[in-house]
Amino acid sequence: MGDVVRSEESGDRSSPRTGPVLADLDEDELLDRILPLFPPAPGVLVPAGDDTALLAAGDAVLATTDTMVRGRDWLDGWSSAEDVGAKVVAQNVADIAAMGGVPTGLLVTLVADVRTPVAWVEDFSRGLAEAAADARVPVVGGDLSSAPSGTLVVSVTALGDLEGRAPVLRSGARPGDVVAVCGTLGRSAAGLLLLQEGTPSLAPDLVAAHRRPRPAYDQGPQAALAGATAMLDLSDGLVRDGRRIARASGVQLALSGEALAADVAALAPAVGTTRARECVLTGGEEHSLLACFPAGRELPTGWRALGEVRDGEGLTLDGQSLHGGGWDHFAGADRG
């Protein structure tokens, strides 16, 4: 892990290094500072503070978890504590949305070097609380752990409810379905490229998309109501995630280059056409929803067709098979 370049040009987002660190507070004192950010909410029958939380549920509960590690998922120079808090919420709630569900509660784990500034933890909690409020989901519990020098890990578990709908799995795509996306493609990856090159000012909107993805969570339930046969959120790139639907469903996703042309064109001024194309196809952390819908139906508002489902396997672009690409959590571990 290289040192982070700290300058205005690099868009330094570090929290100030002055003030108390975690070792200066005991656990209760830290909780006293954070817990007021997470008020009681309807549906939370027992909030954080007992052995467990107790949440109202339907006859089934969605559950998912996603983690961010400093040095791997973010660098302090590129992402503020608020950004990290907001992003870890978005990643998890997008997974709930991708099943067609609405989030009902979050559990938050912080594993931190005791020399971490208390201000970082407060800022992280504030970003997390704001993103949770945006997604209309309460924080209901969590865990604090100290860790060896340098470690900073944040982890969220999201619970959700289908409100009586069937879950939309990855395995339901059928030949003839339309492949569609709701939201942008490649913007987060393009923003990361600019940060890596120290030129975030070329396109601050792309950098913002990398720091704080804002998936259209409501579109998950909307897609379910519109009859989506398969769905996921784009965590690891269009090719890699599209191939997951293909594999789970036993079909081929055949995408059209023309349908992606506007996405590529939107990124090209900032990162060039070749890299724009790569961002659109393989850029991770976008968290837009990718779904398949039965042919002949109107797509829900906000969705656009990218291609169609065919007999076969894998993912093609204008008939050309695309392999690999996208983010692998271990093989890509040195990405920074």
Q: Which of residues 148-177 bind its own copies (CB under 8 A)?
A: 148, 150-151, 153, 155, 157-160, 162, 167, 169-171
The nearer residue to its own copies, 96 or 276, going by C-beta atoms, is 96
Nearer to its own copies, 137 or 267 (CB): 137
Return the H-helix or E-strand segment holding 156: strand 152-161
Give the β-pairing of 152-161 and 139-147. Answer: unpaired
Q: How far is the CB of 101 from its own copies (least distance, A)?
A: 7
Q: Determine how many CB atoms are found less than 10 A away from the CB of residue 188.
A: 26
CB of 29 vs its own copies, minimal distance in Å:
9
| 160 or 200: CB nearest its own copies | 160
- Which of 10, 13, 22, 237 binds its own copies (CB under 8 A)? It is 22
Q: Residue 74 carries which DSSP code?
A: B
Beta-carbon neighbour count of residue 156 at 10 Å? 25
Q: Of how many residues is the chain composed?
A: 336
Closest CB 312 distance from its own copies, rounded Å:
20
Q: Where are the alpha helices (DSSP H) in 238-301?
A: 238-249, 257-271, 273-282
Binding mask of the shown chain, residues 68 to 107, with x at each position contacting its own copies by CB under 8 A: xxxxxx---------------------xx-xx-x---x-x
Residue 172 contacts residue 249 (beta carbons within 8 Å): yes
- Tell me the pairing of strands 315-317 and 252-255: parallel
Rg (CA), the chain: 20
Question: Could you tell me the CA-to-CA distances from 168 to 71, 223, 231, 334 in Å, in that order?
Answer: 34, 9, 6, 33
Q: Which is nearer to its own copies, 103 or 300 (CB)?
A: 103
Nearest to 220 by CA among 233, 238, 239: 233
| 42-71 positions binding its own copies, by CB under 8 A | 45-46, 49-71
Report the C-alpha gap between 201 and 207 in whole angstroms.
8
Indicate the residue among 216 and 248 with the shorter CB distance to its own copies: 248
Stretch that binds its own copies, among 81-89, 257-265, 312-320, 324-332 (CB under 8 A): 324-332
Q: Which of 132, 139, 232, 292 binds its own copies (CB under 8 A)?
A: 232
Binders in 106-125 for its own copies, by CB under 8 A: 107, 109, 111, 114
Please work out the total of residues on this chain that contact its own copies, with binding judged by CB under 8 A.
75
Find tokens 């590690």 and name the residue.
69
11, 85, 127, 142: residue in contact with its own copies (rule CB under 8 A): 142
Q: Which of residues 236-275 bind its own copies (CB under 8 A)?
A: 248
**Do residues 206 and 189 touch, judged by C-beta distance below 8 A?**
no
Residue 3 found at the interface with its own copies (CB under 8 A): no
Residue 324 Cβ vs its own copies, minimum distance, rounded to whole Å: 10
Least CB distance to its own copies at residue 316 (A): 21
Shortest gap between Cβ of 176 and its own copies (angstroms)? 22
Whole-number Å distance between alpha carbons of 83 and 85: 5
